[in-house]
Structure 1
Amino acid sequence: MRWKVKEFLDSNNKTAYALWKASGLSRTTTYAIAQGDMEGVQFDTLSKLVEGLEKLTGKRVEIGDLLEVVRP
């Protein structure tokens, strides 16, 4: 799996800082996810991430917008 949060933020002209403020996640977690450095998350974290992005962009966010399956 690969995070696509940075691309999502970029395509919506938003920053990881704005996501941090909108999501209620810790700064460390938000930036790690945005940089693609977080290898696993709890459902609660994923839920806060989606809610924060929806709040920030005003758009419905699907898991496929944030994660991509990487196949060899």
Structure 2
Amino acid sequence: MNVRWKVKEFLDSNQKSTYALWKASGLSRTTTYAIAAGAMKGVEFDTLAKLLGGLESITGKRVELADVLEVTRG
């Protein structure tokens, strides 16, 4: 079982940039860009909450974990 980030796909589908997410989330630039690139392998709940809050702020939509994370089997 693997878990992968879908943040870049979410941003693209909502015509938003990683830069906008960085500014809205309160996360560090390095963390925001690493998550969007799929390079971040683990996060604390506080970081995840900031990420979801930032995405909601820039899209005006409710964002669920399934919108930004995908679990694959096999």
TM-score by length of 1: 0.99
Distance in 2 between the 1:29 and 1:10 partners? 18
- The reply to whether residue 40 of structure 1 matches residue 42 of structure 2 is yes
Q: 2:8: which partner in 1?
A: 6
The Cα shift of 1:70 comes to: 1.5
Q: 1:62: which partner in 2?
A: 64
Letter in 2 for 1:50: L
Q: How many positions carry a matched residue from both structures? A: 72
- The CA RMSD over aligned residues, in Å, is 0.4
Q: Which runs of 5+ in 2 are unaligned?
A: none
Distance in 1 between the 2:72 and 2:32 partners? 22
TM-score by length of 2: 0.96
Q: Which structure features the higher share of strand residues? A: 2
Runs of 4 or more off by more than 3 Å in structure 1? none
Q: 1:50: which partner in 2?
A: 52
- Calculate percent identity across the aligned residue pairs: 75
